[in-house]
Structure 1
Amino acid sequence: MISTDSIRTVVGIIGNVISLGLFLSPLPTFITIVKKRAVEQFSPIPYLATLLNCMMWIVYGLPIVHPNSVLVLTINGVGFFIEALYLAIFFTFAPRPLRLKIVGILAGELVFVGAVLGGVLGGAHTHDKRTEIVGILCVIFGTAMYASPLSVMRMVIQTKSVKYMPFYLSLVSFLNGVCWTAYSLLRFDLYILIPNGLGALLSAAQLILYCIYYRTTPKDEPKQNLELPQIVPANDPDSLRSMKMEK
């Protein structure tokens, strides 16, 4: 009989693959930016937000905060590298005022993450307490990012057009939320459940809106690339241990 830990490990691996897909979803946007050598109307905010999210989950997965969380560090480390590359491209082709804005926000994020890490290490002396503090912050940021499509959903309803809501991004976000919600329920983890459960619900709502308003979208209006912040949930260290046991 297959154990719960084995099932959870498989779900976690699938979740990592889907999360990587979410990280790579803005790639067409940046290919366009490089070809045109201009950022046009694209905003750097989603990528700055995702970078901050990755940094917070990296802090969560550090051995001094949440031991034996190698999968947390790997997937979010990859996400950090990808988002940093996106921002480097954005910075290269952005006008000077936007460059200064990127530098200012990025500096603020680094100071914030450093302050969180320093405060947790200095003020919390057990792994459980450190996990709780950083986990709560990750839930807050993750929930905020999953709620970011609300404005786009409102626009869809008002215009009766899905021009600004890409179907595949909504679909992958839904699969990601469902996968990590299942992962958190197999061995209850509130820090993973809250943002991903909410993300699954909001992504499902986007897919429903897409089905409703797809036919009313003018065919001569090509859908725009809209890249929304992504969340990559932290993996439970038990999944890693179960993988080692299977080997």
Structure 2
Amino acid sequence: MILLRGAATLATVLMFLTNLVVVKQIKEDGHISVASILPFLSTFANCCFWLKYGVMLGESSICWTNAVGVIITVYALYQCHNHCESERTRAKIEKRILVTVGVVLSVLTAIKLSYGPEILSWVGFLCCALTMVMFGTPLASLRTVIQAKSAHGHLSLPMILISFVSASLWSLIGFRLRDNWIIQPNIVGAALSLVQLLVYSAYRK
């Protein structure tokens, strides 16, 4: 179980680190928009709630993994904010960041003030829903890939493989812990990664 936890943590941290590659590409292109930061904001919120779930569950691997995810996404958002040339766009980015942080803090405060055994299930449900949304986000590019008949610039093979490995490993941990909130989103994530891999294989040229 220790090796499984370590492998899952490593794979997920690598997945989070791909955010830095995206930031580098955005900075090189010189075009930072509000849409550019949306994946970072969703990952930030997702990691914050999973970190809380890990603390409540007493599962250190979940805590460490998502703590690293929070740090990486905060850094990514900081870089995007600092390299935004348009003051108007920077103001919009600041607004989105403040709203996201406000919502996350409000929900975490509500969780802290809540009592009863069912609160863990509610937090688990929230984490499950957000993870499914995060895994499903790349599917939006599949239509573009199919229309252009090319995966170039739309799908990243390393990202697809890392996502598949990470989701598969966390699914196994979920089965070992008998935790449906861990199992369900990661099985869906692994399946969605396979769909992306099939599309990539069909349109990689």
TM-score, scaled to structure 1 = 0.75
SS of alignment partner, residue 176 of structure 1? helix
Q: Please state which structure has a larger fraction of its residues in helix.
A: 2
Shift of the 31–117 alpha-carbon distance from structure 1 to 2, 3 Å rule, reads closer
Q: Which runs of 5+ in 1 are unaligned?
A: 1-7, 218-247
Distance in structure 1 (CA, Å) of the matches to 2:42 and 2:111: 22
Residue 58 of structure 1 deviates from its aligned partner by 1.9
The residue that corresponds to 1:244 in the other structure is none
Question: Which of the pair has more CA radius of gyration?
Answer: 1
Comparing 108-117 with 146-155, greater Cα deviation is found at: 108-117
Q: Residue type of the partner of 1:175?
A: V
Distance 1:33 1:212 in 2: 27
Of residues 107, 124, 129, the one that matches 1:140 is: 129
Distance 1:151 1:29 in 2: 17
2:196 maps to which of 206, 230, 237:
206
Q: 1:183 to 1:70 in 2, by over 3 A?
A: closer
Q: What pairs up with 1:1-247 in 2 under 5 angstroms?
A: 8-34=1-27, 36=28, 38-40=30-32, 43-62=36-55, 66-94=56-84, 95-123=86-114, 125-126=115-116, 128-163=117-152, 164-214=154-204, 217=205
Q: Once the two structures are aligned, what percentage of the paired residues are identical? A: 26
Contact 1:37 1:93 in 2 (8 A): no
Larger deviation: 25-34 or 184-193?
25-34
The aligned residue for residue 222 of structure 1 is: none
SS in 1 for 2:137: coil
- For residue 40 of structure 1, report the CA deviation from its aligned partner: 4.8
Instruction: Name the counterpart of 1:235.
Output: none
Q: Which 4+ runs in 1 deviate beyond 6 A?
A: none
CA RMSD of aligned residues (A): 1.9
CA shift, 1:33, in A, is 4.5
Letter in 2 for 1:112: V
Paired letter, 2:44: L
> Displacement, 1:37?
8.4
Structure 1 contact 54–80 (Cα < 8 Å) conserved: yes
Distance in 1 (CA, whole Å) between partners of 2:95 and 2:51 is 22
User: Given that residues 181 and 196 in structure 1 are in contact (C-alpha distance below 8 angstroms), is that contact kept between their aligned partners in structure 2?
Assistant: yes
